[in-house]
Amino acid sequence: MIEIPPRDPLTQPQGVEEGYAHTRMRWPAEPLQKRPHTVSELSGPLLSPHALARRIAPVRGGTQDPSGSKRTDPSRGDLAGHGERRAIGQLIHLRTRIVDEDGTPVPGTVVELWHCNAAGKYIHPNDQSTSPADPNFYGAARLVADENGLIELRTIKPAAYAVPDTGGWWRPPHVHISVWGRVWLSRLVTQMFFPGEPLNEYDYILNAVRDPQARSRGIARLAPTGGGPADALVFEHEIVVRGRKAAPSL
């Protein structure tokens, strides 16, 4: 059995953030309720990684090769494209490992990643930014972690962009990441940031995390450039989903 320890208020955002106006309209005013955890909250979809990949992973940039015709390894994705279809921007590889609170890898978990293009534009129709779309860039991939809890994504580095109607809030370059985790209560949605970005210091979302060490764990590490692919910068990152092995009952 798995257990889910309570959230640490220093390492998790608390709801309403002064600089982020939507939070005052959307975060509940009432205190969150406490409840016992039963099998319902401590279970999750049971499918094997390959069955999961077949059922939910076939989106562009996910388990398909660049031609979109045949499935490749579900733990590896490619949003950057090749040759004449190569997206514009700095080529990067993300290596993200998913572990639980014991540090044990979580193989077979679904990982969804999305980010804007090298001009700061998302593929989403609700993005009203006047920045140009890139016809060779589709910014969404759905992967399934391999036996070591690892996913790898070849993509381009997203740009910073201004958040409309906020009087000068710029989002630093970031990648949105959604992880299912082992059970329902280990569901995690987060964002990954890049090292050395001056905007990291001012971002209302990153800085909603009060503990500086927790913030720095949200920033990927640039891997040594000597050992990686010749044409891409490699960024490494660890994601910890909630849950640890329950202590045996006495």
Partner 1 sequence: MPRIPTSEMTLGPFFPREFAQGANDLTIAADGAPAGAVRGEVIEITGRVVQADGAPLDNLVLEIWQANAEGRYDDPAFFGWGRAATDANGVYRFRTIRPGAPAGRAPHVNFVILFSGLMRHLQTVMFFEDAENGADPVLNAVQPPERRRLLVAKKRNGTFTFDIRLRGEGETPFFGD
Q: Which of residues 210-239 bind partner 1 (CB under 8 A)?
A: 214-215, 217-218, 238-239
As measured in angstroms, the least distance from the Cβ of 7 to partner 1 is 7
Residue 19 or 228: the one with the smaller Cβ distance to partner 1 is: 19
- Judged by CB under 8 A, the number of residues near partner 1 is 82
Residue 157 or 215: the one with the smaller Cβ distance to partner 1 is: 215
Binding residue for partner 1, selected from 117, 122, 134, 158, defined by CB under 8 A: 122
Q: Is 37 in the site for partner 1 (CB under 8 A)?
A: yes
Binding residue for partner 1, selected from 65, 102, 201, 236, defined by CB under 8 A: 102
Q: Minimal CA–CA distance to 141: which of 175, 108, 118? A: 175
Neighbours of 190 (CB within 10 A): 15
Distance CA(221)–CA(62), nearest Å, equals 23
Return the residues of window 149-168 that contact partner 1 according to CB under 8 A: none
Residue 170 or 184: the one with the smaller Cβ distance to partner 1 is: 184
Binding residue for partner 1, selected from 3, 19, 54, 131, defined by CB under 8 A: 54
Distance CA(129)–CA(119), nearest Å, equals 10
Q: CA geometry: angle at 126 spanning 123 and 130, to 5°?
A: 75
Q: Minimal CA–CA distance to 195: which of 235, 232, 166? A: 235
Distance CA(165)–CA(98), nearest Å, equals 35
Backbone φ/ψ region at 3: left (φ over 0), alpha (ψ -120 to 50), beta:
beta
Q: Which stretch binds partner 1 (CB under 8 A): 77-85, 95-103, 152-160, 194-202?
A: 95-103
* Residue linked to tokens 């140009």: 132
Q: Is 139 in the site for partner 1 (CB under 8 A)?
A: yes
Q: Is 56 helix (H, G, I), strand (E, B) or coil?
A: helix
Residue 75 or 96: the one with the smaller Cβ distance to partner 1 is: 96
Query: Position 206: which residue type?
Result: L
As measured in angstroms, the least distance from the Cβ of 209 to partner 1 is 4
Q: Minimal CA–CA distance to 221: which of 109, 93, 56? A: 93
Q: Is 175 in the site for partner 1 (CB under 8 A)?
A: no
What would you report as the CA-atom Rg of the chain, rounded to the nearest whole angstrom?
19
Q: Which stretch binds partner 1 (CB under 8 A): 77-85, 87-95, 110-118, 228-236?
A: 110-118
Residue 183 or 234: the one with the smaller Cβ distance to partner 1 is: 183
Distance CA(61)–CA(179), nearest Å, equals 17
Binding residue for partner 1, selected from 3, 19, 60, 202, defined by CB under 8 A: 60
Q: Is 247 in the site for partner 1 (CB under 8 A)?
A: no
